[in-house]
Structure 1
Amino acid sequence: MTSSSHALLDNATHRDLTVATGAGAQWGDGVMGCLVVPAEFRAVAAHYPIVFRRDPETGRFAPLALFGFEQAENLFLADARWDAAYVPLAHAVQPFLIGRTAHADDVPQVHIDLAHPRVGAPAGQRLFDETGAPTPYLAAKAEQLGALDAGWRATPAFLAALEAHDLLEPFSLEVPLAEGSTRSLVGYHIIAEERLAALDGAALGDLNVQGHLLPIYMAVAALGRFADLLARRSNA
């Protein structure tokens, strides 16, 4: 497992700290996918397949964007850049994360993982300027963290609605390999389109009022990105 060292970010201790902003496996981008939240499904669906994975211990589902078909495979890394106009929030915010106190009503704090490979890069972005004020880079990351936090809070209700309407079904995909064989992508669920189409007006209206219908349709649309991901793999 990758080690981590989380610390509350402050402009005294971390005044001169820099963070690398490029793309590459050396910066922690060599991953198969990441968690996503329903509020970003429209942006995610333009580039990545969206699937759902069940935690074997808790039984709860979580939505993910896929960047590849096997561990450490990110098909969106190309020539030290990320070859997509949108990077999902949970990955884009790294090495920053939300920190909370014991009181739920307290304002969330910005923490940083000091052990993350992006931290301390000589040519990286500074987090604070000469006066100790947050740089535009840090301000943008804090805004992304806020959006991600709001998305996490809304996700359980979305997933509960999917399960209540039985809208998730197992999914598998045969992935061609270079030598001519195939491997199976298994262990994921997708939106059950037939069951979605069979919902009555009342159920659809309820999902719409709760704000769940749009991300559901975006998750369905995102399945079209599997063709793009397969093309990236064959061209890699």
Structure 2
Amino acid sequence: MSQHQILTPEAHAQLRIRAEAGTDLGDGVMAALAVPAEFRRLACEFPLLFRRDPATASWSALALLGFEPGENLYLDGTRWDAACRPLSLAVQPFLIGRPAQGDGPAQVHIDMAHPRIAAGDEGIRVFDGEGRPTPFLEEAIEMLGALDDGYRASTDFFAAVERYELLEPFSMDVTLDSGAMHRLVGYNIVNEEALAALEPGILAELYAAGHLGPLYFAVASLGNLGKLVRRKNRKGHG
């Protein structure tokens, strides 16, 4: 169970974080939340898919990391085998919190029940001896801000995507060298035909709003699906 606290030098002066990669450190996931603002960076490594929550009817984007629950094919022991990580994974165990009344600036929170919380002298310090943020924490705060801004901006992105019906259902059958089969279902991808058929005025609108680039990056990212299959074959997973 999560144990969120407002991060302060008084309460967390000795706090250390395990920064290496690992299944037991929260990286053992099949997909990670992504925001459109990071699609340019992520599209070089991961397939970017979309999923709609049937309970809330809200859309989210996901960087696909594997084909089975709990499988992350970008993990190589304690090494992250990719040039980048989705921000939602990279910021753990930090998160953005806001005052209970909903007003005021965002606050940096930490999940003290997260497996990245280190014991003893392990890990990287969050505050230095003077109570100032270490470079590690400063980088985490920068990523938190980018993730928060990206999440807020994604509302307009998905509104435009729905308005112009730019997503279509996607499924994929994966047959491995071993003969084992996996099926991806329940996802959506950008409908390239619908995107190409948009009128110039709508394209200009999407470009001005910053939505056009992420749409094209999401399309380009699908080339990573074959690479992901090859990763699974190399790892010998059935």
**What SS does the aligned partner of 1:42 have?**
helix
Residue number in structure 1 paired with 2:20: 22
Structure 1 residue ranges (4+ consecutive) displaced by more than 2 angstroms after TM superposition:
102-105
2:94 aligned residue (90, 93, 96): 96
Query: So what's the TM-score if we normalise by structure 1?
Result: 0.96
Q: What's the CA shift string for 1:153-202, capped at 9, x where partnerless? A: 10010001001010000001111246413221000000000111111111
Q: Is residue 33–residue 88 contact of structure 2 (8 Å, CA) maintained in 1?
A: yes
Residue number in structure 2 paired with 1:130: 129
**What SS does the aligned partner of 2:46 have?**
coil
Residue number in structure 2 paired with 1:39: 37
Aligned-partner Cα distance in 2 for 1:224–1:207: 23
For 1:155, give the aligned amino acid. S
CA RMSD of aligned residues (A): 1.1
**What SS does the aligned partner of 1:120 have?**
coil
For 2:110, give the aligned amino acid. I
What residue ranges of structure 2 are gaps of 5+ in the alignment? none
Correspondence 1:82 to 2:80: yes
**What SS does the aligned partner of 1:149 have?**
helix
Q: Is residue 67–residue 182 contact of structure 2 (8 Å, CA) maintained in 1?
A: no
Count of residues paired in the alignment: 234
Query: So what's the TM-score if we normalise by structure 2?
Result: 0.96
Aligned-partner Cα distance in 2 for 1:80–1:102: 37
Aligned-partner Cα distance in 2 for 1:105–1:224: 43
Correspondence 1:139 to 2:138: yes
Residue number in structure 2 paired with 1:173: 172
What residue ranges of structure 1 are gaps of 5+ in the alignment? none
Q: What's the CA shift string for 1:28-47, capped at 9, x where partnerless? A: 11111111111100001010
**What SS does the aligned partner of 1:146 have?**
helix
